[in-house]
Each structure stands twice: as structure tokens, then as C-alpha cells.
A and B are shown apart, each in its own frame.
Chain A
């Protein structure tokens, strides 16, 4: 059994002493998340393959396990084409980075376990919301800068969709804030464990439902992937991107998905706590819950067909927002009565 905590503490102490920064923590977290992103794409292709009676990738390496690495190498080697009539090349080049940086910054406030959070800020929940709303800029600007009809339509759809679903998502999280009495993510996890329900999934079941639906829409995944609907818009906002810039968009999408799943684990499923402690691996339960939610995301993609645009807007404004408001009222009642 390896004592992760001891190794981690010594290395971090060393780096803090000589560099004054928790560079190590950040690098570890970003590195691990990048690996997760790579293998989430593999898992997605494999799982959807099996759900559709296919094999999925199985050529590169044993059972196709090296497929994500081959994909990354291929994308890095490809020529980076910038169309000649893009509207301002600066914005065109900047757009994928905005998406990716906004997605990755959220990682810095999410606690993996009690002693592993890069910056434990008091308004952690708001930081994640702010970053997820900023990441939409990448999509919108990519759509505008490409100067292509498909991209433009994708960008337009993305801006409307993200604004509508952001409200529902933030309102769904208000219930969690009210129950925990804090916006600090570590405090939220601790408040969950000390509450009689152990996880906020039980008193916040409506909030959890609204949050998951809004998170899928926020990250532009099926069944809400209208900004990149391949049957209508080819690939939506990133039609004109190729090579490494295309890869950055892909990365940003999966980063967003993983961050949303982490946030759901922290806010609704009790974070790193589990029914029993696994010695040596304090983040075991966090990972189990995270993998389940990622599987859920993939499962939804394989199961549900894409929404029509007016249905999407109707669902956001007429169903999810009233539901989350109702959830806030119910949570207030629980707070008063219990």
C-alpha cells in the first residue's frame, strides 16, 4: 500500500519552500485531467460502440488502448490551416484557447479530497460558474471569426443556449448553497456529511436533475449539441479549425464535461466521502462517483436523439428554470422547518 498523502506532502512542502507556489499541485491536477480526457474519448467510443453492437476502436495496441495517444499524435502532426478569409486571424487563433483556459481554470477550486485543492477560496462555487460562462466566449468567437455560414450558425446557437441554461444551472446550485450555508466547496462537502442525509442528492433531487440537464446543455453534448449538430451544420462552430486547434476545442469540450461532473460530485454526491474509507487512496470515492457520472454522460449520448431548437429553448425556460425556482422554495421550507 502506497501512502499517497505522505509522498504528496513531502514533495509539495519541498516545492512550496523553494518556489513559493503550488506549481506541483497544479501540474499534477492538469496532467491527470488531460489523461482522463484522453481516455474519456476512448471510453466514449468503446461504450457507444458496445451500445450500438459494434466493437469500437480495437487496432492500436491491445484492445485499442493506445488509440487516444495515436489520435493526439495525428492531430499534432496535421497541418494547421487558417482559411484565407477569416475575420481577424487574431480572434480566430485566440478562440480555442479561451475555451480551454476557462475550462481548466475551474479545476483550481474543486477539491479532490480534503487536502488536495489548489486554492481553497470562499466563493469556489461562483468561480466555477464564472469560468463556465466565460468558456462560451471561445465558441461564440470561433463561430464569428471563421467567417463561414455553418460556424456562424453554430456560434449563434451556442450563445443563446449557454445563456439560457446557465441561469437554470446557477439556480439549481442555489439550493446547495442554502443548505450548506457556504460557497466554499470544501465546506459544502463537509456540510453534506454532517447533515442527516449524508449527501445532498436526497433533499436536492430536483436540483440535481436540473443541474445535470443544464450541465449537458452547457457543455454542448448530445442531446443538446445543436451548436455542433453534424447533420445540419457539419461541425458547427469549429468547422474551419484543423489540426491542433481542432484538438484544443475537443479538449475544451471534455474538460468542461469533467469539470461539470466533478462539480456534481462535490455539490450533490458527497465529494471524497464514501460508505467506508479505502486506506491509502483518499480520493477513491471521488473517482468512483466521477467515473459513474462520466459514464452517465456517455450513456445519455448513446440513448437520446437531438432536440429541435425550439424544444431546447422551451425546455430551458419553461421547464428547468421554474423547476429550479420551485427547488429553491422547497429548500427554504426545509431550512425553516428542520
Chain B
């Protein structure tokens, strides 16, 4: 990231990401909160594109913006949260939360001070990513090097799907018919 323009874009993205995330958590209207989250995800996708990770950017939009947020909206619709909710249970502990946040901030500043980027894993150098394409390299690594973790995640998701089916299925007693 050399040159002035990428830096400016990065600063803008950083500010926009923080601002929209704050708007997401402070918004009283559930649908507006989801909308701000959509704006946040789009900025995140642009950030991925700036880091030459175009595949991640596309997946970010397809999976998070396109599917997960639509499901969020669906749920918000279903419980019909039109009126503003005021729950004080979570806001009375704000001094403690502030303390934790400041401590985390200090910790991350300390961590960033001695930060140096990790060396490329295996043959995934920056030049090769630009030459071969992000999607191809990622796919190859996923299905050769990390195939076990890939399968494990697949099984985990399958368990989640089955769990959802079991939870939502009505339990039918014997003799009630199918």
C-alpha cells in the first residue's frame, strides 16, 4: 500500500467501519441496525479488495451481506420489532465495560508496537497470489493442505443443520400419524 490514495482510502475505510459499527450497536430500530451492518460489510469488502483479496471480498458480500443479513432481517420481521425497546439490563454495567475496552485498547497498542507481518506460508507469496489468482491458490490450499480441517468444519455445520431440524420438528407421538 504505497502512495497517498491507498492511505486516504484506508483512513476513510477505518473511520467508516468504526462509525458504522457504533451505529449498529447504538441504533434502537432493529431494521436500521441491520442496514448499518450492511453498510459496514460493504466497507469491509472494499478493505479486502484493497488487500488484493478479491475472492474474500466477493464471499464477504455473498455470504454475509447476501445471506446472513437477509436472514437477520427475516428474523426481525418475524418477531416484529417495530417499537423501540429499552432494556436497561445491559447498560447499567457501562463503567466496567469501558474499563475493559480501554484495557483492551492499551493491550492492542502494545501488541501493534512490535508487530511484524508473518512470512508467507508455503508457496503463498504475494507475487504468486497476484499471478495465479487468489481463488485458485486458496482453493488448492484448502483442499490439499487443510483438507482435514475443511472436512471437520463441514461435519460441524452438518451437525448444526441437523440440530436445527431436530429442534424445529414437531415431536409426533405414536398413533398420531405421520
Which A residues have a C-beta under 8 Å from some C-beta of B? 87-88, 91, 121-123, 126-127, 129-130, 133-134, 136-137, 140-141, 144, 152, 155-156, 159-160, 162-163, 166, 170, 183
Contacts and interface: CB of A to CB of B under 8 A. Distances in A.
Tell me the dominant secondary structure on chain A's binding face. helix
A127 B59 CA distance: 9
Contacts of B135: 122-123, 183
A156 B71 CA distance: 10
28 contacts: A91-B31, A121-B54, A122-B54, A122-B134, A122-B135, A126-B58, A126-B59, A126-B62, A129-B58, A129-B66, A130-B61, A130-B62, A133-B61, A133-B65, A133-B67, A134-B61, A136-B66, A136-B70, A140-B73, A144-B31, A144-B77, A152-B77, A156-B77, A160-B74, A163-B71, A163-B74, A166-B66, A183-B135
The residue among A129, A134, A162 with the most chain B CB atoms within 10 A of its own CB is: A134
Give the interface centre of B62, B77, B133 by most chain A CB atoms within 10 Å: B62
Given A87-B82, A123-B135, A126-B59, A133 B66 contact: yes
Interface in B18-41: 29, 31-32, 35, 38
Interface of B: 29, 31-32, 35, 38, 54-55, 58-59, 61-62, 65-67, 69-71, 73-74, 77, 82, 133-135
B70 A127 contact: no
Most chain A CB neighbours (cut-off 10 Å) among B54, B55, B67, B73: B73
Contacts of A166: 66-67
Contacts, number: 68
A130 B59 CA distance: 8
A325 to B, nearest CB: 13
B74 A162 contact: no
B128 to A, nearest CB: 14
A2 B77 CA distance: 56
A123 B135 CA distance: 8
A72 B149 CA distance: 55
B67 A123 contact: no
Contacts of B58: 123, 126-127, 129-130
Nearest to B60: A130
A170 B35 CA distance: 24
